[in-house]
A and B are shown apart, each in its own frame.
Chain A
Amino acid sequence: MNILVCLSQVPDTTTKISFTSDNKELNKAGVQYIINPYDELALTKALELNEASGGGSITVVHVGGADAEPVLRKALAIGADQAVRIDTAPMDARQVAAEIAHFVSSASFDLVLAGRESIDYNGGLVGGMLAEYLDWPLVNVATSIEGGAGGSMIVCRDMDGGREKLEVYLPAVITCQKELTEPRIPNMRGIMAARTKPLQVLAPQGKGADMHVLEHALPPSRQACRFFEVHQMDELVEALHQQAKVL
């Protein structure tokens, strides 16, 4: 299959978040960027699907600036065949989705995989918007993906209070949840090969963003912890009941 994997780059999960003095953006000093964990799963799943069927090619796409190229190279080292960067600084999910949709319509993909959400802006929106732009089916939050009969895929997805197994015909957009697979670590051969794999930079099609951040803030700090001894469980329960009013 020809599979497209949408990659976002996000601050490493251990990053202590702070904002610039005008609170307009993230304070990037010392921040390490990684492939969004769900996108890494999407990439690994794409490799597994093509290994199982014995063919096809995998493209990774990122909408953003040149600072994301190390992350794209890493994806090539893990096993993607080619990378595409759409050169703009997106401000919201709709802008990202519109750019990717434009790229997809100029190519021929059977399947687009994205993460369930990015762990920076946590929208969980790009996959669904992309599916609508393309008028393709969407399966959100997939925990397993397997090839079915006659060009269909069998997918399990998380839903409120349970899980659903469903069949979807290609082409489709599927967003990936953990449990799908385990991420792969690039080996030396992959890292060498990545240097010569194509990384294409495309001009944006130019849709602007709808949503603009006014300001960022840190969550309100919490009051100091009130401690109870092991023999004071009635007092703790009383505090939860009377003071916090949560019991």
Chain B
Amino acid sequence: MFIVTPIRNGVASLGRGACFLGDVFVCVLRGRVRWGEVFKQVFEQGVRSLVIVMLASFASGAVLAMQGRVMMERFGAKEFIAQLVALSLVRELSPVFTALVFSGKSGAGMAAELGTMSVNSQIMATRTMGVDPVEFLVVPRILACLIVLPILVVMSELVGILGGYMIGVHEANVPSIYYVNQTIQCLGFVDFFTGFVKVFFFAILIGWTCSYKGFFTTGGSLGVGRYTTEAVAMCYVGVIVSNTILTKIILTFWGS
């Protein structure tokens, strides 16, 4: 049947993926965490994504301010650019943008590394040396995602606001002090918090998807390319779709 088979395969691979994540959790709960490896990964993933995340954030903050200026001027409310930029970035754009860029950079790197190790028997070799490859190779990567992504998001929010400031102050001629004050005053803890909780979910989603795909890569170097692309595509879809659901849930609780 043309529809049953893909659904069955999908459910089966979701099941395998869940078991894999279960193994990861068991490892962490038993305290089998190699912190040295975690920090190596934190460094690697951070370095991989840092520049591109900052660039994207600065640009999106600037673009928000440009468009915001046009929109706000229509209502004669130019002074609200600061609020528009800060709230959009902190509540929504920075977490989602950063997660997407991070999937494409660090996530892809993770999937490709593990994929290469899988097709070169390095993962099997880990087992032959009596070491659990999930503990040695996967747990550090997923934990590193959980550490790096939130840091990147906070940096992205700051840089994005800076991008908005440049446009707001130098192009829209909002007084500098006024812009800064508006930004600080409009941002409540709830704005930061509702954006930030999502980040931890995205981090697990990206770490899980990319390491799972990489870990079970087969088919030589062609396979590495295929599985890595699949992993990144799944992250994109996963982040965008889960963001909608999460936003709905969060707004239900902390909406007003």
The answer to whether A and B interact is: no
